């Protein structure tokens, strides 16, 4: 209780505003509604950002805050699901609420905020977040819920003002996106086993689930948000300066969309780029002299641990021969019933020393909780708020040398690689961030049987939780910023004068002239097959000569289809030899231009073929992979593979079944709807080797309607020696998610036409924008000690002595249970073994130190002692474990 009060007091101090922090900010909107926010200080910067962002996307973000408040069951029902599009999962509402309610009840985020920098947020970030919350809330104060322009949330009770802790919990949700966030259901549903669970059968089912999991599909989901990025140095550009392409492949809907802005505090910060919803810091963008982007890293940010449980006590585990009790946290949420009324739903979630207990990952039931074993999730991002400081400092960096120093100072990057270039002509790559301190020796020494199987199939390491030596470590490891993570010296990075490139494969072939090797397997693989998109990117770069901004713009939207280039001619030959395939289908393939442009004919038929062929058993390639020629191998089409032949026949059936002509142009059957308008979308699946990845789902009746995921905030940034970077951008899905907004589809139409937005970074360019709209916002400092929107924080509860404390259980001939009561109470002591009650004693006792003696256990084994105390409406519980090594003899 005392620690809770101290944390609450510390948090109140941390969020309390400075006495003079009045807001003063100008929001200047240029073409396509892009806000250029000019503020006197960081609090005002956040204020302007929060207001502008809420104007454009309040409904989407309000839905996101429902999630991190653990209120989805309350508003949307416990049986429903929502899409966490950032990692491709669809958590159940109730399980998600339990997951986030534990974070709330255990004050996980408050503890992280209370840390001083660099582990906790810097003071400037706290100011910006406070301003962001007040700006968001000001929009809601000026716009009643029933007057919100967006019909998606107009009049909905779940749209309400936010508090600073809501914003920080959203940041924490993003930190966990590629670790704990892929196990929300598995953590929210984990419960001790019932007697009918057979351990051997449960283990067999887990291995069957593993065998049925496609490793490629697993990686696509875990790192599926994808991205391409290439940074050119002085030896590869037409003017001897740096040049960057950033092309993140992110969701087109939901809270993992990008929002484009420029953030300026004169003399301190001037940065432009894109941010994920709810984050008032630029995550991908450029300053005056440096541009950067990110791609999803192959590094695993988590490791499950296998716990050895004590027989008869499924929440007691062994570590180094000692008994340890899992921590149980009972969480309660409100859920909407079918009749619309609310009811409480409760569940006790458990955690071990390594992390929370889980049963599944990405919905795959790999980790059954039985009477013998349970699994806990070790997560390098569970304590990572350093990433906020990383991005804040990056927003002011002017060179890749500065950026490298930031990477090493914070190790805050949660799940991405960094690719950057600067005006001095230097290119930079790094995968330095929060990765578990698990090297190859530890994997070899600590992997359990399931772990050896998951490592081979999915590169997911499952370690022995019964040995302390298999943990991440409790102290900083040889230069690591925080306990339990690899130090920067053991993580890959590279400076180049020609180029660095990444398209979601590992660090190994960042530049084929200088492969990166010798790093722990948990970060990525080496000397293995590179994906078609990686290989196409490297070929475009190597064959392109010196690049300028226009050449790079043309390259990203050339829509070359690399598997088409590798396979088309052999596919046509195979097609013409198959009497079951119509000649018109073969003609369409032969006439295809090997691109996924809007007017490409035959592209749809090839895509349906290639989507199946890549999964052919035995492989679709004629020439196998060679580590000595990784860009050009594997290649050729294995036309002798029966599954490759069948893939063509099935593709023909797909297209004819949808009523699509074999030579139909892509524009007619791949589109994004904006209201009643169908906007044709160029590009194709990244898995088939299209740099401009548009990752769409086949509809047997319509083709590819609506884009769930793909190219998003695309930027090409060059430097010419002037104070104004040469930046061209396109936000493919546009700034606003509101169907009523004029900026709901304007950039989507530009993208369809392969047009770009010329960046207005310098003040003269902003002022010259046609139709410039300026909003001046001022406001007083928030009153009342730090709760956003001027609301006063709740007074801390008076300190109260627990009803039951100092509980001990000692085993002799009998079990002596001692404890202290704060008031007169009815106390019950129960002793059980293997889930069955052995005996119980009930007494009504006065306040003070008390003892109850329970008749001693005779049989060898572990016994659970449960103590409960009831005094009126007040209840308290405690559990202890005793173990008899040998059967006792009664005299």
Q: How do residues 664-687 score in pLDDT, each as one tens digit? A: 999 999 999 999 999 999 999 999
Asked if 316 and 326 count as a contact pair (C-beta separation under 8 A), the reply is: yes
Q: How far apart are CA 780 and CA 99, in angstroms?
A: 37
Q: How far apart are CA 278 and CA 290, in angstroms?
A: 24
Question: Which has the minimum average pLDDT: 129-138, 223-232, 480-489, 691-700?
Answer: 223-232
DSSP code of residue 883? E
Asked if 382 and 176 count as a contact pair (C-beta separation under 8 A), the reply is: yes
- Under the banding of pLDDT at 50, 70 and 90, the label for residue 802 is confident
The crossing angle, in degrees rounded to 10, of helices 603-613 and 642-657 is 140
Domain 804-884 has CATH 2.60.40.10: yes
In sequence order, what are the residues at sequence separation of 6 or more whose Cβ sits closer than 8 angstroms to the Cβ of residue 72?
66, 80, 82, 93, 94, 96, 97
Mean pLDDT of 468-473: 93
With vertex at residue 646, the alpha carbon angle to CA 641 and CA 648, rounded to the nearest 5 degrees, is: 105
Asked if 437 and 412 count as a contact pair (C-beta separation under 8 A), the reply is: no
- Name the more confident of 794 and 816: 816
Active-site option among 44, 114, 179, 227 = 227
Mean pLDDT of 186-198: 94
The CATH 2.60.40.10 portion of the chain extends over 804-884
Q: Report the percentage of the chain scoring pLDDT > 70.
A: 93
Q: What is the per-residue pLDDT for 832?
A: 84
Burial of 844 by CB count in 10 Å (0-12 exposed, 13-18 middle, 19+ buried)?
exposed
Q: How far apart are CA 489 and CA 301, in angstroms?
A: 17
pLDDT in tens, 236-248: 999 999 999 999 9
Mean pLDDT of 706-721: 97
Q: Does the structure show a pLDDT above 50 at 688?
A: yes
Q: What is the per-residue pLDDT for 3?
A: 47
DSSP secondary structure of 676-734: TEEEE---B-GGGT-SSBEE---BTTTBEES-SEEE-EEEEEE--SSSS-EEEEEETT-
Q: Residue 344's closest CA among 697, 609, 94, 679? A: 94
Q: What is the per-residue pLDDT for 868?
A: 87
| Largest separation between any pair of C-alpha atoms in the chain | 99
Q: How far apart are CA 890 and CA 856, in angstroms?
A: 10
For residue 236, the SS3 value is: helix
Instruction: Enumerate the β-bridge partners of residue 259.
Output: 275
- Under the banding of pLDDT at 50, 70 and 90, the label for residue 474 is low
Q: What is the per-residue pLDDT for 21?
A: 59
Q: How far apart are CA 12 and CA 489, in angstroms?
A: 38
Question: Which has the minimum average pLDDT: 318-327, 340-349, 789-798?
Answer: 789-798
Q: How far apart are CA 183 and CA 52, in angstroms?
A: 33
**CA quadruple 144, 54, 253, 112: dihedral sign:** negative
Q: What is the per-residue pLDDT for 223?
A: 53
Q: What is the per-residue pLDDT for 618?
A: 94
- Name the more confident of 353 and 795: 353
Q: How far apart are CA 260 and CA 277, in angstroms?
A: 10
The CATH 1.10.439.10 portion of the chain extends over 2-188+773-782
For residue 395, the SS3 value is: coil
CATH number of 2-188+773-782, picked from 2.40.180.10, 1.10.540.10, 1.10.439.10, 3.40.47.10: 1.10.439.10
Asked if 257 and 276 count as a contact pair (C-beta separation under 8 A), the reply is: yes
Q: How far apart are CA 167 and CA 130, in angstroms?
A: 9
Mean pLDDT of 144-150: 96
Q: Name the one residue in this structure whose structure tokens are 């490297």.
A: 538
Domain 202-220+302-379+440-470 has CATH 3.40.50.460: no
Find the helix or strand (DSSP H, E) in which 163 lies: none
Q: Does the structure show a pLDDT above 60 at 796?
A: no
Instruction: List the strands of the sheet with 670-674, edge to edge.
Output: 677-680, 670-674, 704-705
Q: Name the one residue in this structure whose structure tokens are 């690591």.
A: 480
Q: How far apart are CA 180 and CA 360, in angstroms?
A: 11
Q: Does the structure show a pLDDT above 60 at 109?
A: yes
Q: Does the structure show a pLDDT above 90 at 395?
A: yes
Q: What is the dihedral of CA 754, 755, 756, 757, to 10 degrees?
A: -150
Classify each residue of 265-301 as buried b or exposed e, where b means 16 or more C-beta atoms within 10 Å of its C-beta: beeebbbbbbbbbbbbbbbbbbbbbbbbbbbbbbbbb
Q: How far apart are CA 423 and CA 400, in angstroms?
A: 9
For all residues of the chain together, what is the average pLDDT? Answer: 92
Burial of 350 by CB count in 10 Å (0-12 exposed, 13-18 middle, 19+ buried)?
buried
Instruction: Enumerate the β-bridge partners of residue 825.
Output: 845
What CATH number has the domain spanning 556-710? 1.10.1400.10
Find the helix or strand (DSSP H, E) in which 202 lies: helix 199-212
Q: Does the structure show a pLDDT above 70 at 840?
A: yes
Mean pLDDT of 289-309: 97
pLDDT in tens, 717-749: 999 999 999 999 999 999 999 999 999 999 999
Q: What is the per-residue pLDDT for 23?
A: 98
Q: What are phi and psi of 49, to 5 degrees?
A: -65, -50
Q: Residue 287's closest CA among 443, 179, 398? A: 398
**CA quadruple 692, 694, 698, 703: dihedral sign:** negative
Q: What is the per-residue pLDDT for 598?
A: 98
pLDDT in tens, 516-545: 999 999 999 999 999 999 999 999 999 999
Q: Residue 669's closest CA among 656, 653, 680? A: 680
Q: What is the per-residue pLDDT for 624?
A: 98
β-pairing, 228-232 with 269-276? unpaired
Query: Per residue, what are the HEC states of 355-386?
Result: CEECCCECCECCCCCCCCEEEEEEECCCCCCH
Q: How far apart are CA 572 and CA 586, in angstroms?
A: 6
Mean pLDDT of 66-87: 97
Asked if 448 and 305 count as a contact pair (C-beta separation under 8 A), the reply is: no
Catalytic annotation on 227? yes
Classify each residue of 696-729 as buried b or exposed e, where b means 16 or more C-beta atoms within 10 Å of its C-beta: beeeeeebbbbbebbbbbbbbbbbeeeeebbbbb
Q: How far apart are CA 510 and CA 523, in angstroms?
A: 14
Structure tokens at 745: 């589809």
Q: Does the structure show a pLDDT above 80 at 785?
A: no
β-pairing, 773-779 with 322-325? unpaired
In this structure, the number of other CB atoms found within 10 A of the CB of residue 106 comes to 16
pLDDT in tens, 613-652: 999 999 999 999 999 999 999 999 999 999 999 999 999 9
- Name the more confident of 250 and 831: 250
pLDDT in tens, 270-283: 999 999 999 999 99
Q: How far apart are CA 495 and CA 643, in angstroms?
A: 44
Q: What is the per-residue pLDDT for 860?
A: 79
Q: Does the structure show a pLDDT above 70 at 221?
A: no
pLDDT in tens, 7-38: 554 555 455 544 445 999 999 999 999 999 99
């Amino acid at each position: 209780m005392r620690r809770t009060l101290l944390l609450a007091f510390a948090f109140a101090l941390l969020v309390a505003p400075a006495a003079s922090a009045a807001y003063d900010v100008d929001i200047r909107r240029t073409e396509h509604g892009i806000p250029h926010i000019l503020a006197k200080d960081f609090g005002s910067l956040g204020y302007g950002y929060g207001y502008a962002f809420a104007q454009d996307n309040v409904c989407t973000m309000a839905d996101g805050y429902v999630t991190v408040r653990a209120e989805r069951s309350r508003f949307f029902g416990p049986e429903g699901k929502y899409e966490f599009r950032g990692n491709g999962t669809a958590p159940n509402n109730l399980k998600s609420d339990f997951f986030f309610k534990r974070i709330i009840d255990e004050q996980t985020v408050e503890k992280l905020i209370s840390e001083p920098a660099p582990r906790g947020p810097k003071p400037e970030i706290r100011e910006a977040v406070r301003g962001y919350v007040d700006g968001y809330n000001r929009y809601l104060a000026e716009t009643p819920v029933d007057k919100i322009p967006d019909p998606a949330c107009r009049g909905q009770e779940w749209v309400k003002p936010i508090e600073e802790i809501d914003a920080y919990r959203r940041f924490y949700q993003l930190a966990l996106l590629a670790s704990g966030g892929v196990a929300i259901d598995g953590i929210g549903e984990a419960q001790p086993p019932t007697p009918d669970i057979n351990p051997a059968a449960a283990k067999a089912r887990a291995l069957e689930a593993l065998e049925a999991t496609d490793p490629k599909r697993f990686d696509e989901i875990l790192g599926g948000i994808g991205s391409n990025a290439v940074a050119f140095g002085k030896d590869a550009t037409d003017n001897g300066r740096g040049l960057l392409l950033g092309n993140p492949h992110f969701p087109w809907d939901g809270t993992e969309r990008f929002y484009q802005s420029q953030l300026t505090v004169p003399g301190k910060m001037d940065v432009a780029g894109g941010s994920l919803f709810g984050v008032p810091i630029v995550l991908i963008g450029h300053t005056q002299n440096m541009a950067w982007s990110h791609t999803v890293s192959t590094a695993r940010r988590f490791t499950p641990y296998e716990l050895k449980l004590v027989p008869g006590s499924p929440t007691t585990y062994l570590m180094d021969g000692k008994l340890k009790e899992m921590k149980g946290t009972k969480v309660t949420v409100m859920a909407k019933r079918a009749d619309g009324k609310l009811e409480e739903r409760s569940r006790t979630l458990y955690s071990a020393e390594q992390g929370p207990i889980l049963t599944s990952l990405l919905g795959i039931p790999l980790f059954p909780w039985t009477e013998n074993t349970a699994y806990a999730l070790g997560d390098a991002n569970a304590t990572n708020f350093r990433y906020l400081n990383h991005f804040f400092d990056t927003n002011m960096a002017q060179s890749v040398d500065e950026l490298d120093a930031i990477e090493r100072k914070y190790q805050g990057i949660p799940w991405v690689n960094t690719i950057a270039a600067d005006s001095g002509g230097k290119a930079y790559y790094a995968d330095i961030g929060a990765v578990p301190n698990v090297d190859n020796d530890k994997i070899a020494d600590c992997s359990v049987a399931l772990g050896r199987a998951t490592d081979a199939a999915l590169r997911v390491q499952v370690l022995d939780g019964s040995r302390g030596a298999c943990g991440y470590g409790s102290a900083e490891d040889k230069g690591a910023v925080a306990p339990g993570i690899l130090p920067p010296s053991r993580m890959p990075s590279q400076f180049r004068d020609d180029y660095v490139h990444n398209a979601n494969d590992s660090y190994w072939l960042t530049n084929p002239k200088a492969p990166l090797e010798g790093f722990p397997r948990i970060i990525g693989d080496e000397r293995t097959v590179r994906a078609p998109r990686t290989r196409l990117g490297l070929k475009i770069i190597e064959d392109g000569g010196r690049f300028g901004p226009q050449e790079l713009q043309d390259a990203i939207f050339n829509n070359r289809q690399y598997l088409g280039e590798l396979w088309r001619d052999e596919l046509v030959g195979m097609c013409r030899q198959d009497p079951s395939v119509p000649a018109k289908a073969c003609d369409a393939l032969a006439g295809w231009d090997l691109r996924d442009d809007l007017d490409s004919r035959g592209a749809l038929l090839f895509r349906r073929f290639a989507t199946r062929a890549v999964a052919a058993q035995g492989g679709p390639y004629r020439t196998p992979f060679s580590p000595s020629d990784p860009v050009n191998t594997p290649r050729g089409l294995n036309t002798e593979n029966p599954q490759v032949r069948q893939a063509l026949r099935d593709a023909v059936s797909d297209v004819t079944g949808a009523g699509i002509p074999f030579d139909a142009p892509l524009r007619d059957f791949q589109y994004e709807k904006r209201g009643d308008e169908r906007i044709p979308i160029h590009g194709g699946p990244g898995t088939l080797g299209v740099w401009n990845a548009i990752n769409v789902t086949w509809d047997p009746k319509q083709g590819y309607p609506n884009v769930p995921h793909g190219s998003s905030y695309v930027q090409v940034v060059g430097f010419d020696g002037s104070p104004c970077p040469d930046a061209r951008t396109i936000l493919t899905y546009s700034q606003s998610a509101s169907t009523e907004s004029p900026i709901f589809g304007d950039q989507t139409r530009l993208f369809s036409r392969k047009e770009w937005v010329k960046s207005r970074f310098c003040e003269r360019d902003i002022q010259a924008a046609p139709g410039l709209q300026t909003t001046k916002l001022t406001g007083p400092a928030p009153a009342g000690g730090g709760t956003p929107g001027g609301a006063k924080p709740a007074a801390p509860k008076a300190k109260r002595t627990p009803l039951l404390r100092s509980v001990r259980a000692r085993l002799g001939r009998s079990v002596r249970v001692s404890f202290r009561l704060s008031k007169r109470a009815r106390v019950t002591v129960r002793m059980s073994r293997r889930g069955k009650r052995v005996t119980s004693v009930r007494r009504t006792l006065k306040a003070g130190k008390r003892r109850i003696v329970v008749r001693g256990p005779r049989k060898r084994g572990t016994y659970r002692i449960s103590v409960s105390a009831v005094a009126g409406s007040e209840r308290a519980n405690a559990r202890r474990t005793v173990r008899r090594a040998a059967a006792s003899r009664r005299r």
